[in-house]
Chains A and B, each alone.
Chain A
Amino acid sequence: MLARVPWALLVLIAAFFVPAAGSRFYTFVANDIVIWALFATSLNLLVGYTGLVSFGHAAYFGIGAYTTGILLKKVGLPFLLAFPAAGVVAGLCALVFGFFCVRLTRIYFAMLTLAFAQIVWAICFKWNEVTGGEQGMPDIPYPRFDVVDRIVSAVPALGSYRTSDYYYFTCLVLVALCIWALRRIVASPFGRMLTTIRENAERAEFIGVNVRRYELAAFVIAGVFAGLAGGLFGIFNRGVFPDFAYWTKSSEVLIMTLLGGMGTFYGPAIGALVLICLNQQIVSYTEYWPLILGSILVVLLFVFPGGLAGAMLALRRRLVRKTPREVQTGA
């Protein structure tokens, strides 16, 4: 019963009412969540489905953010071109970096992804002419919504919205499309091949899987979607900064993925939701958010290694006494 409800669709529909129902602040938080959900879901394709622990996923997020930011602000391209460009450029970089990374295993893979991410960070940090260097690139313009606004104003029942609300709707639609695409990929034959690599790469070779090639493909796809998330984030954040690609960003997104549960498709998105809401709540009481986050992480590692989604599934299994078929439990 519970499994037949189209939860993802309901959440999406509900999300459309945030600007109308809540304040400007809620829209802001919701927009943040939406973008991070995509970023974390893209990482999960690597960590959760292929078994590749990347410590440099922020590189592609950063590359996407800078690509869209530069194209919008300096070149003056419209959003409809600048946004997909983020995915293309991030994907190309992922192809080049990934080519070398998938040749390594485990800790060496993680270290090389970290090294490439730091290279990206160093370039963003120092290349003042193009990236704005340490100061970053403030004042990324919003896409133009005048046409949409005219249509919406013509229909009084729709209410009236700010530019930031329109941008939120845009992110919602685009992220929903991306997550839907990732969902398809995970449930495709390709996705099944990735899980065989995660489970047992040696055996996968012997059912005819060219492990490196699949890993590279997964790396590029994850890079593309991280880039798209970055492209959206730069505009949302009204500025692009080098720390988008810094290694601590990579670990933030890893924590989200883990918190939500990396064995499940929507786990990382739930992780983004919970972590960002928690952050918003906690920073109003104390400035020591990292302390709280670190403590949550410790509890998670020791008590709920399957993440929130894993814990919920365990609960549901106990209630319904039926093993959900689509679930691959996190170790």
Chain B
Amino acid sequence: MSFTVPRGSISAIIGPNGAGKTTLFNLITGHLEPDSGHVVFKERDVTGIAPHDLCRLGMGRSFQRTNIFPRLTVYENIQAAYVSHRGRGFDLVTPVARLYRAETESLLAAVGLLDKAHETSGFLSHGNQKQLELGIALALEPELLLLDEPTAGMSATETRESIRLIERLAADRGLTLLFTEHDMEVVFSIAHRITVLHQGRVIADGPPAEVRRDPEVKRVYLGDSR
């Protein structure tokens, strides 16, 4: 398979369960090493390099299973991301409480969590935790952001709100987005490009209108599931 995510675009990967979406994400982000093939990011071969190095190059990701630091407060979660990203992690002297206050607060405001800043993040609602996760990813100032099912487990209202948030943040920050999603309405409403995976293979790749018309997509995906 081969596909490209153009800079500044919002691209989606869809496909039935088990099509290999999360596996693909794990390959891109260095959690799994591919048997063959390459991942090229910003004209550089990044196949199989460690996640923490990828992160420095400007790739951020969120996870399908909510992935935060549960016993830290919301504020500390975001601040930790700033500390790490700005390379201050080996500072053993400065009190951390004073660092990146302004950045953390403005980011918390942007993802709508400022009023919950000092709550323990593990006790937040599922929707809030997803927002926080997005916030952590954004604190790393990525150029490319990979979102694995950003609305998984959300109600219809939460989904709509969170998609609007993602879209707005991407536009404000000039992000390139690549996401997987099960909700077709969401996918077709915000993606510029859609890649359809089936059994580990790309069966269609293009703008939403084109993908919608593709006969094979209709057969294996849309036809089967709806």
Contact = CB atoms under 8 A, between A and B. Distances in A.
Q: For the side of the interface on B, what is the size category?
A: 35 or more
Contact of B92 (A184, A207, A209, A331): A184
Nearest to B139: A207
A199 B52 contact: no
A192 interface: yes
Interface string A232-270: 000000000000000000000000000000010000000
A187 interface: yes
Residue from A187, A207, A209 with most neighbouring chain B CB atoms (10 Å): A207
Contacts of A196: 69, 72, 80, 84
A206 B54 CA distance: 8
B118 A190 contact: no
Interface string B111-123: 0000000101000
A208 interface: yes
Contacts of A190: 89-92
Given A203-B68, A207-B80, A208-B56, A189 B94 contact: yes
A318 interface: no
Contacts, number: 103
B201 interface: no
Interface stretch (A122-130, A133-141, A210-218, A222-230): A210-218
B93 A202 contact: no
Interface stretch (B12-20, B95-103, B182-190, B203-211): B95-103
Interface in B31-90: 31, 50-52, 55-56, 60-61, 63, 67-73, 76, 79-81, 83-85, 88-90
A328 B90 contact: no
Nearest to A188: B92
Contact of B118 (A200, A202, A211, A325): A325
Residue from A206, A329, A331 with most neighbouring chain B CB atoms (10 Å): A206
B85 A189 contact: no
A253 B15 CA distance: 53
Contacts of B28: none
B180 interface: no
A54 B93 CA distance: 25
B70 A200 contact: yes
A274 interface: no
B136 A207 contact: yes
Contacts of B88: 189
Contacts of B50: 205, 210
B29 interface: yes
A207 B90 contact: no
Interface residues of A, number: 31
Nearest to A210: B52
B84 A207 contact: yes
B178 interface: no
A101 B127 CA distance: 38
A210 B87 CA distance: 11
Contacts of A209: 52, 84, 89
B140 interface: yes
B182 to A, nearest CB: 22
A305 interface: no
B73 A193 contact: no
A217 to B, nearest CB: 7
Contacts of A202: 31, 67
Contacts of B80: 192-193, 195-196, 207
A191 interface: yes
Contacts of B95: 184, 187-188
Contacts of B89: 189-190, 193, 209, 214
A185 interface: yes
B103 to A, nearest CB: 14
A202 B51 CA distance: 9
17 contacts: A191-B96, A192-B80, A193-B84, A195-B69, A195-B72, A196-B69, A199-B69, A203-B67, A205-B51, A205-B52, A206-B51, A207-B85, A207-B136, A207-B139, A207-B140, A211-B52, A325-B73
Interface of B: 29, 31, 50-52, 55-56, 60-61, 63, 67-73, 76, 79-81, 83-85, 88-97, 99, 118, 120, 136, 139-140
Q: Across chains A and B, which 4 residue pairs bring their CB atoms closest together, nearest first?
A: A199-B69, A208-B55, A205-B51, A189-B83
Given A188-B92, A328-B71, 6 more contacts: A185-B92, A189-B90, A199-B72, A207-B136, A263-B71, A328-B72
